[in-house]
Amino acid sequence: MMNEIAKRSNKNVYRDGDLCYKVFAADYKKSDIFNEALNQARVEETGLFVPKIHEVKRLDDGRLAIVMDYVEGKSLAALIEENPAKRDKYLQRFIDIQLSMHALTAPELNKQRDKFMRKIDLSGLEATTRYELHMRLDGMPKHKKLCHGDFNPSNVIITADDRACVIDWSHATIGNASADTARTYLLFKLANDDNSAEQYMTMFCKRSDTARQYVEHWLPIVAASQMAKGKPEERNFLSVWADVCQYD
């Protein structure tokens, strides 16, 4: 009855006609599932094109699923892979979508700053480095922009009528857009796509008239936050990024 369209270690995504089921593993934290649905519902209210949430429901096998609109289309990641010649154009579009998202706010979403503070503490870095990072975070400008938190080309679906739909809002917060940008840069780097990372950073800073140094200021923080995921293969790379200081 349902077509599986994506499979991760702890969640599967199915299509059922016009609906999409995101089904979570049995041991998945219930609060995280509801939080993701709530995030997405809140973002939906901003008017941004996202899959509409219908319900969170318990399936017959006991697992929980978020039920939302199925949005027909191809991800930007897939499009880039299919048309390498158009890569620059797609990347530019990717940035424009991110910028239009940053122009929005959803005051009831979780605060990016709180999330970073929690993640720094869970980073496994030593206390003095964490102190430096907390201090750095404390001094960064506090904004209220809509941030995706996992903004990468596979999370942007381009529909047949050429509209862009942003999916997967489990990490959404409101906060500083440059932090969201730093996070996207890091995601490219972690995917070993240095070219895209550099190109993305350069184009983004130009497009948004942002100083690269300002985005770079967030890199130690997003790197430390990523360490909270505890992926051993990333650990060395991330700890170099996180262990920096700024004295007078």
Partner 1 sequence: MDGLIVQDDKSLDELIKRVRAAQTAYSTYTQEQVDKIFLAAATAADKARLDLAEMAVTETGMGIVEDKVIKNHYAAEYIYNAYRDVKTCDVVERDDAYGVEVLAEPVGVVAAIVPTTNPTSTAIFKALLALKTRNGIIFSPHPRAKDCTIKAAQIVLDAAVKAGAPKDLIGWIDVPSVALSSAVMSGCDLILATGGPGMVRAAYSSGKPAVGVGPGNTPVIIDSSADIELAASSVLHSKSFDNGMICASEQSVILLPDVYDKFKKELAFRGAYFLNNDEIDKVRATILINGSVNAKIVGQSAPTIAKLCGFEVPESARILVGEVSSVELEEPFAHEKLSPVLAMYKAKDFDDALAKAQKLVADGGYGHTSVIYANEIAAKDKIARFGDLMKTCRILLNTPAAQGGIGDIYNFKLRPSLTLGCGSWGGNSVSENVSVKHLLNYKTVAKRRENMLWFRAPEKVYFKKGCMPVALQELKDMGKKRVFIVTDEFLFKSGFSKQVSDRLNEMGIVNTTFADVQPDPTLASAKKGAEAMRSFEPDTIVALGGGSALDAGKIMWVLYEHPEVDFADMAMRFMDIRKRVYRFPEMGKKAYFVAITTTAGTGSEVTPFAVITDETTGLKYPIADYELLPKMAICDPMLMMGIPKGLTANSGYDAMVHALEALASVMSSDFANGMAKEAVKLIFEYLPAAYKNGADETARAEMAYAATMAGMAFANAFLGVCHSMAHKLGSYHHLPHGMANALLLEQVMRFNAAEAPAKMGTFPQYDHPVCLRRYAEVAEMLGLKGKTDEEKFEKLLEKLAALRKEVGLPDTIKAAGVPEDVFLEKLDAMSRDAFDDQCTGANPRYPMIAEIKQMYLNAYYGK
Which of 60, 161, 162, 248 lies at the binding interface for partner 1 (CB under 8 A)? 248
Footprint of partner 1 on 198-227 (CB under 8 A)? 212-213, 216-217, 219-220
Q: Which residues contact 113 (CB under 8 A, 6 or more apart)?
A: 137, 142, 175
**Residue 116 phi/psi, 5° resolution?**
-60, -45
162 binds partner 1 (CB under 8 A): no
> Does residue 136 touch partner 1 according to CB under 8 A?
yes
What whole-number distance in Å separates Cα of residue 50 and Cα of residue 68?
A: 10
CB of 75 to partner 1, least distance (A): 28
Which whole-number Å values give the CA distances from 72 to 20, 31, 75, 100, 188, in the listed order? 10, 28, 10, 21, 25
Q: How far is the CB of 248 from partner 1 (least distance, A)?
A: 4
237: contact with partner 1 by CB under 8 A? no
* Distance separating alpha carbons of residues 148 and 45, to the nearest angstrom: 15
Amino acid code (one letter) for 94: F
Minimum distance of partner 1 from residue 106's CB (angstroms): 24
245 sits near partner 1 (criterion: CB under 8 A): yes
Query: Interface with partner 1 includes 193 (CB under 8 A)?
Result: no
Contact assessment for residue 212 and residue 205, using Cβ atoms and an 8 Å cutoff: yes
Chain positions 73 to 132 lying near partner 1, rule: CB under 8 A, are: 127-129, 131-132
Interacting residue ranges for partner 1, rule: CB under 8 A: 127-129, 131-132, 134-140, 212-213, 216-217, 219-220, 240-241, 243-248
